[in-house]
Amino acid sequence: MDKLLQHLQRVGVHYLKSDSVIILEILENKLHLASEIDVLINELLNKLQSSRLKKVRFECPKILLDSLNCIRDKMEVIGERVIYKRSLQTPLNVSTPDYEVWSLSENNSISFLSEVMATSFSDAEKFLTSMRTELPSQVKDMFTVYLVNNEPVGVVFPHIEPNTDNEGRIFWIGIHPNFLGTGLGKNLHSIGLYRLKNEFKAMSYLGMTQVDNVPMRNIMASNGCVQSKNTVISLQYSI
């Protein structure tokens, strides 16, 4: 399976692998490689039956998906996301609110995340375990907590996307339910951008969100991110 993933990487399909899921992504319309990509991902799905992995997620432009016959047959469409980008080689021109970087292994960190995600302590712990597996070299620096009057109000996980030219991403972002609707999301996102530029040394930022997530789209636009023309289709295969 690792050889298949490396082959996919060579044809432009990036991947992250955790203990239970493989995440595949290609954002370019590489139509000349569509047949090869289709065959490789189909082989990967077949191998899933004999592995401990249970799920494959894949994102690609619609025009490319139209040429991936096996993938269209086997994988279920679960959404559509819009892409926003901005350079981090110019000043951000935003003030940076107070924040702290927390340990992933502390109970108070997991408890706070479970409240922000509106999920159980166990599920929040599983989320962090998955992040450790997918981004082992960066994970200890990612748990970023936005503070207002020394009170934690939100969390953002900035990181450099592996196998890219220092492209900054946000693994997950969320405001605590007690502070939803207060306009703090823009500040939380700006903390992520600040850390990507100044601490992770990212050259650019790429953010994606569901097409109907208007609040997040507005946040990225207000922080100087520019919407790409193309959207990506999200697909999933489970056993």
Q: Domain spans of the chain?
A: 2-81, 99-202
57 vs 41: CA distance, rounded Å: 11
Q: Is the pLDDT of residue 57 over 90?
A: yes
Residue 24 — pLDDT band, cuts 50, 70, 90?
Answer: very high
Residue 54 — pLDDT band, cuts 50, 70, 90?
Answer: confident
Q: What is the mean pLDDT of residues 145-159?
A: 97
Q: Is the pLDDT of residue 237 over 90?
A: yes
Q: Does domain 99-202 have CATH number 3.40.50.450?
A: no
Q: Is the pLDDT of residue 219 over 90?
A: yes
Whole-number pLDDT of residue 116: 98
HSE-CB of 14 using CA atoms within 13 angstroms: 14
Whole-number pLDDT of residue 138: 96
Closest CA to 192 of 140, 228, 141: 141
Helix (H, G, I), strand (E, B) or coil at 103: coil
Q: Is the pLDDT of residue 51 over 90?
A: no
**Mean pLDDT of all residues in the chain?**
94
Determine how many CB atoms are found less than 10 A away from the CB of residue 177: 11
Q: What is the mean pLDDT of residues 68-74?
A: 95
Please, what sign has the CA dihedral across residues 157, 162, 168, 172? negative
Q: Is the pLDDT of residue 93 over 90?
A: no
**What is the reported pTM?**
0.90
